[in-house]
Amino acid sequence: MTLSGRLRSSLIIGGQGIRARKLRTFLSMLSLFLGVLAVVAVQAGSVIAQRALLSDLEMTMGRDGTLQLYPPGDDGASAIVLDAVADRTDAVAMTRARAIVGEPGLRPVNEGGGPIDGGLGYGPQPMGPGGEAMACDAQGNCAPAGQERVVPTGQAIELQLLAVSGDIRQFRPFRLESGRFLDFDSAPSLAPRIVLNKHAAEAFTQFHVPAEMRIEGATANTTPRVIGVVDDGGWSPAAYVRTDELVNWMPVDFLTDPTQGGSVELLAAPSADDLERVLRARLAANGMNPDELHVQTIQALKEMESQLALMRWIFLGMAVLVLLIGVAGILNVGLATVGERVEEFALRRAVGTPRLLLAGIVLAETLLTGLLTAVAAIGAGVVGLEGASRLLASREPFLADVAFPWQAGVAGVIAGVAAGVLGGLVPAIRAARIPIATVMRA
Amino acid sequence: MSPTSAPQAIDAVGPGEADQRVPLVRITGLTKTLTGQETARTVLAGVDLTLHRGDSVAVLGRSGSGKSTLLSLIGLFDRPDGGEYLLDGQDVTRVPERRAAALRSAAFGFVFQRFFLLKHLTAVQNVSMALVNGQGWLPRRKRRAKAMAALELMGIAHLAGHRPPRLSGGEQQRVAIARALVREPRVLLADEPTGALDTETGNLVIEALRSATDRGCGLILVTHDHDHAAKMNRVTHLVDGVLT
Ligand SMILES: Nc1ncnc2c1ncn2[C@@H]1O[C@H](COP(=O)(O)OP(=O)(O)OP(=O)(O)O)[C@@H](O)[C@H]1O
Ligand SMILES: [Mg+2]
């Protein structure tokens, strides 16, 4: 009575059982297959949603752990900041300024730098006498917007110009949509190279804007060279430019003049903890209050935590529901099968099969069914995700390199095993309790 | 042999080698009360029965007299309420289920009125399923050889690949007898094995069962057919829960 003898007997009896009921086995597998596939989909969905949320958040806020430093508004503070990060690779200074790109002397279509929606921005819009929206043509003649939208050509677009002292993507992982990002290794060019965000790029394809850039406070207008487009997670048009190229046209202090809407912000790696000390010392040495340097650490994940927790609960609830459906399916088929198999079990016990072994066989059959089904469903999930990712990658970049989330695989296997155990346990117990004599008397 | 010795010990003592004076089955004062929904009915009220090697006993009795109940107690499907049951000299009156299963495998062969063949298995698989019961292990080829030998003994080896729905009643019952014999049991228990067969086929089946006793097997045959009963060494009657 060796264990291997028992095990082999179980395999044979179980195999005979499955082969004798191919259709039933298939049907019970089908319900579980769909259930596990749904768990896989739900898990994958939760991981992808989390990734999407985090990727957007990282682009707009910055990676977790990144230090944000805001210098005081005093004259000269910005120069100190820019000087302090000049030779550093672990910190980037970003100054904001307003810029208008378009024909000279025209109001931008989105005055105020708001998002471009349709033809008009959310900023102050030219209004007709009755308060209706106005559309303006290239000559600046404005008329109420009619039924058909008048697309003004030759307009100007206002955008936020972000001058960066180094590669900001180490802190905010912008997605490159086309072209390339600014490169900080070459010598600064006299014509500023700019990288547009996708909203600015859309605006430029929508309106035929001559590429002359007016920057408030600049000493001269300049012709920018657009070298790339990125998705920076923002909602309004923006352009990125190297600080050392921009300062050819405007003094640093004007660029960072708070009264002109300019501001400077430092992004630093978590390892750059000396930067704060250095800055405070230099500010103090220049007669400024070092306490006015504000520092904060980005915690994107923590910000998301409550959102994610809710999402996870919803997904978990769905997964459990789906799992129950799969279990119900396999339980239903298992019970119906035991009813049919009462005679077989009685006969097998009559020829000496221990009832614990029989119970084990029923359990093993459903467990095997569950596991095989789970594996099949996971395979289908992997293939499906791969296909969907390839199809949708062009529209949703964060789907581009979505590997099959291993959590989904684990959930699938657990679902299969749980459904197998639960669905097999009741039939197994029933099978063990069948009295032989009763059946044989029938 | 002590009552607590392992089932393997019984297995080891094959029919010819054992002490011929120790009966295969010795039952004294066996009682059994079956409880239905409300009524309890004493089906067996003190049954005495002794069966030796190569011996055959017919049990007659009207329907409901408790013949099947008696067989289920002898075959260790169930345990009696009182009395004593010695199997090959071993007390098995209150044997626990685990050991009962081992004993069913080692000592008994069963034949039922309804053949209880598994529809999805062929004749030879139906026979060898008795060898796949978690009690010991035989490799596939040996199982098949044993099953074929048993079918041969029943004269139906040519039907080995057929499934039960394609076999006649007599053929099916002979497959069932082959299944009962494949483990070389010491006691063959047959509960109305000819009940579903015509006279001629029934005679064939009884002959097949009788031939097993020639090899030292004990046979207890429950039947309603007096002709079949007359072919056994002894004929007993179960009346009012007592065997006479
Ligand atoms: N679980 C049970 N509970 C109560 N009574 C039962 C139970 N099983 C059987 N009986 C009764 O026990 C009696 C004996 O039944 P058994 O099957 O042993 O009779 P039998 O002699 O084999 O009859 P037959 O010749 O018709 O096969 C019958 O009256 C039957 O109704
Ligand atoms: Mg009966």
Domain positions in chain A are 2-59+302-441, 67-119+152-297
Question: What's the pLDDT score for residue A363?
Answer: 79
Question: What's the pLDDT score for residue A121?
Answer: 41
Q: What are the b/e assignments for A413-438, b being 16+ CB within 10 Å?
A: bebbebbbbbbbbebbebbbebebbe
Q: If you average pLDDT over residues B147-158, what whole number do you get?
A: 90
Ligand 1 centroid – CA B66 distance (Å)? 6
Which of A56, A65, A58 lies closest to A269 in space, CA to CA? Answer: A65
- pLDDT band of A395, cuts 50, 70, 90: low
Own/partner long-range contacts of A251-255 (Cβ < 8 Å, ≥24 apart): A251/A217, A252/A78, A252/A79, A252/A82, A252/A95, A253/A75, A253/A76, A253/A78, A253/A79, A254/A217, A255/A78, A255/A95, A255/A97, A255/A163, A255/A217
Interface check A349 vs B, CB under 8 A: yes
- pLDDT band of B222, cuts 50, 70, 90: very high
Contact A10 B114 (CB under 8 A): no
Please state which of the ranges A438-442, B88-92, B130-134, B145-149 shows the lowest mean pLDDT: A438-442
Question: What's the pLDDT score for residue A394?
Answer: 65
- d(C-alpha B173, C-alpha B237), whole Å: 25
Q: Which residues have a Cβ under 8 Å from the Cβ of A339 and sit 6 or more positions away?
A: none
Burial class (CB in 10 A: 0-12, 13-18, 19+), A394: exposed
In chain B, how many H helices and how many E strands? 8, 10
**Does residue A442 surpass a pLDDT of 50?**
yes
Q: If you average pLDDT over residues B19-37, what whole number do you get?
A: 85
Residue B29 CA, chain-centre distance (Å), reads 21
The interface residues of chain B toward chain A in range 178-197, judged by CB-CB distance below 8 A, are 179, 183, 191
**Is-contact B140 B88, C-beta < 8 A?**
no
Rounded to the nearest 10°, the torsion over CA B107, B113, B119, B121 is 30
Structure confidence by residue, pLDDT tens digits, B130-146: 998 888 888 889 999 99
- d(C-alpha A411, C-alpha A407), whole Å: 6
Nearest to B116 among A9, A347, A437 (CB): A347
Domain boundaries, chain B: 19-243
**Does residue A344 surpass a pLDDT of 90?**
no
Q: Which residue has the higher pLDDT, B237 or A436?
A: B237
Using DSSP's 3-state secondary structure scheme, residue A4 falls into helix
**Is-contact A337 A427, C-beta < 8 A?**
yes
3-state helix, strand, coil in chain B (%, to 5): 35, 25, 40
Q: Which residue has the higher pLDDT, B12 or A221?
A: A221
**Is-contact A44 A382, C-beta < 8 A?**
no
Contact A4 B137 (CB under 8 A): yes
Interface check A395 vs B, CB under 8 A: no
Q: Which residue has the higher pLDDT, A362 or A103?
A: A362
How many angstroms separate the CA of residue A303 from the nearest CA in chain B? 59
Please state which of the ranges A307-316, A361-370, A394-403, B207-216 shows the lowest mean pLDDT: A394-403
Using DSSP's 3-state secondary structure scheme, residue A26 falls into helix
Q: If you average pLDDT over residues A337-354, what whole number do you get?
A: 82
Q: Which residues have a Cβ under 8 Å from the Cβ of B67 and sit 6 or more positions away?
A: B59, B61, B191, B222, B238
Please state which of the ranges A74-83, A407-416, B65-74 shows the lowest mean pLDDT: A407-416
Structure confidence by residue, pLDDT tens digits, B193-205: 988 888 888 888 8
Contact B105 A5 (CB under 8 A): no
Mutate to test the pocket of ligand 1, among B33, B35, B38, B67 (most ligand atoms within 8 A of CB): B67
**Residue A264 dihedral angles phi and psi, to the nearest 5°:** -120, 145
DSSP B107-155: HEEEE-SS----TTS-HHHHHHGGG-SSSS---HHHHHHHHHHHHHHTT
User: What's the half-sphere exposure (Cβ side, CA atoms, 13 Å) at A269?
Assistant: 12
Question: What's the pLDDT score for residue B163?
Answer: 93
**Does residue B234 surpass a pLDDT of 70?**
yes
Question: What's the pLDDT score for residue B44?
Answer: 92
DSSP B20-81: TTS-SEEEEEEEEEEE-SS-EEEEEEEEEEEE-TT-EEEEE--TTSSHHHHHHHHTTSS--S
**Does residue A372 surpass a pLDDT of 70?**
yes
Please state which of the ranges A28-32, A122-126, B45-49 shows the lowest mean pLDDT: A122-126
Chain A residue at shortest CA distance from B183: A351
- d(C-alpha A415, C-alpha A324), whole Å: 9
Contact A12 B135 (CB under 8 A): no
Q: At residue B171, what is the residue type?
A: E
Q: Kindly report the CATH number that applies to the domain delimited by B19-243.
A: 3.40.50.300
Ligand 1 near B202 CB (within 6 A): no
Which of A186, A184, A171, A185 lies closest to A272 in space, CA to CA? Answer: A171
Q: Whose CA is nearest to atom 14 of ligand 1?
A: B66
Range picked from A256-260, A363-367, B229-233 for highest mean pLDDT: B229-233
**Does residue B95 surpass a pLDDT of 70?**
yes
Q: Which residues have a Cβ under 8 Å from the Cβ of A257 and sit 6 or more positions away?
A: A217
Question: What's the pLDDT score for residue A83?
Answer: 82
Structure confidence by residue, pLDDT tens digits, A246-267: 877 776 666 666 666 567 888 8
- d(C-alpha A245, C-alpha A242), whole Å: 5
User: What's the half-sphere exposure (Cβ side, CA atoms, 13 Å) at A282?
Assistant: 19
Structure tokens at A164: 């960066």
Structure confidence by residue, pLDDT tens digits, A108-160: 777 767 776 644 444 444 444 444 444 445 454 544 444 444 444 457 788 88
Please state which of the ranges A215-219, A355-359, B55-59 shows the lowest mean pLDDT: A215-219
Q: If you average pLDDT over residues A348-377, what whole number do you get?
A: 83
**Does residue A93 surpass a pLDDT of 80?**
yes
Sign of CA dihedral B129, B135, B140, B146: negative
Q: Which residues have a Cβ under 8 Å from the Cβ of B143 and sit 6 or more positions away?
A: B128, B131, B132
**CA distance readout (Å), A117 to A55, A210, A333:** 24, 20, 57
ipTM above 0.90, yes or no: no
- d(C-alpha B182, C-alpha B206), whole Å: 17
- pLDDT band of B161, cuts 50, 70, 90: very high
**Does residue B65 surpass a pLDDT of 80?**
yes
**Does residue A219 surpass a pLDDT of 80?**
no
What letter would DSSP give residue A94?
E
Q: If you average pLDDT over residues A168-176, what whole number do you get?
A: 84
Question: What's the pLDDT score for residue A119?
Answer: 45
